[in-house]
Amino acid sequence: MNRIQQRRFMLCVVALPLLVCAVASATDRPANVAGSWNVSVSGEAGSAQQTIVLKQEGTKITGTFQRPRQSGPLAGPVDGNNISFHVSTRVPLDYQGTVDGDTMKGMMSGKGKTGDWTATRA
């Protein structure tokens, strides 16, 4: 190897681990879900429009859930792009899904029934 090839090789040896660490740490960060969201639910019990307002501290989310007939607090984790939260209302609800920028989607359940949900940042 000539001197230029050796330098290029050394640069690759040093840069590759740094690049791998940067990509790994970027995928470990929780998605940013803080803010207001408009949620649409459809399933066995019909369809409904809901609003959630989320606060986020790292991987922990808390907030409020509002719907025409019931409202209450919610809490859960965000793990990368995966989100789940439990809503404490007259009829407890559980949501699981994925985050993609300003949209979320997934499955929800409550009172033995299930449905699909989508959300867009308000």
What is the model's pLDDT at position 25? 46
The per-residue pLDDT for range 42-77, each reduced to its tens digit, is 998 889 999 999 999 999 999 999 988 889 999 999
| Residue 108 and residue 58 share a domain | yes
- Flag whether the pTM goes above 0.85: no
| Residue 110 and residue 50 share a domain | yes
Looking at the DSSP bridge assignments, the partners of residue 10 are none
DSSP H or E run through 49: strand 46-57
106 close to 96: Cβ distance less than 8 angstroms: yes
Q: What does the pLDDT profile of the chain (122 residues) look like in tens digits?
A: 777 777 776 666 665 555 555 544 455 799 999 999 999 999 988 899 999 999 999 999 999 999 888 899 999 999 999 999 999 999 899 999 999 999 999 999 999 999 999 999 99
| Residue 54 and residue 14 share a domain | no
| Residue 22 and residue 76 share a domain | no
Report d(CA 5, CA 24) in Å as an integer: 29
What is the model's pLDDT at position 78? 98
In the chain, the number of structural domains is 2
Q: Which domain holds residue 48?
A: 35-121
Report d(CA 107, CA 93) in Å as an integer: 11
CATH of the domain at 117: 2.40.128.120
| Residue 94 and residue 48 share a domain | yes
| Residue 70 and residue 50 share a domain | yes
- Phi, psi (degrees; rounded to nearest 5) at 70: -160, 155
| Residue 65 and residue 25 share a domain | no
96 close to 107: Cβ distance less than 8 angstroms: yes
Report d(CA 27, CA 9) in Å as an integer: 27
Give CA 72 to chain center in angstroms. 20
What is the model's pLDDT at position 27? 57
What is the model's pLDDT at position 74? 98
